[in-house]
Amino acid sequence: MFRDGTEKSVQDIVTLLKETDPDDVPKFVAKDLHKLPLVAFDHVEVTRLLKDLTLLKQSQAEMQHQLEVSNNTIISTSRISIIAQCNFCK
C-alpha cells in the first residue's frame, strides 16, 4: 500500500508521538516571553487554572490562620506582661 508523501509524514508523526514515552519527548520553552503571541481565553487550560486558584486559596487560608495564631500569641503575651507588671508593683 503506497501513501501520499504528505499523508505519510503526518501518519508517521502521529505514530511516533503515540509510541514515544512522554518523558522522552523534548519540551520547548521560550527564551523571551514577550515575543510569544498573546493567548486568547479560549486557549487557556481551565482545569489547570482552577487547580492553581484552589491552591492559592488554600495557601491564603493557611497564612490567614498563621496570622490569627500569631496575633493571639502577641495578645496573650501582652496580657501576661501587664499582669506581671501589676503584680510586681504591689
pLDDT in tens, 33-63: 888 888 777 777 888 888 999 999 999 999 9
Who contacts 33 (Cβ-Cβ below 8 Å, separation ≥6)?
A: none
User: Band of the pLDDT at 5, cuts 50, 70, 90?
Assistant: low
Return the amino acid letter for 17: L
pLDDT > 70? residue 6: no
- Mean pLDDT of the 4-10 span: 73
The pTM score is 0.44
Instruction: Please report where in the chains the cell 496573650 appears, as a residue.
Output: 76
Residue 16 has pLDDT above 80, yes or no: yes
Percent of the chain with pLDDT over 90: 30
Q: How far apart are CA 80 and CA 22, in angstroms?
A: 60
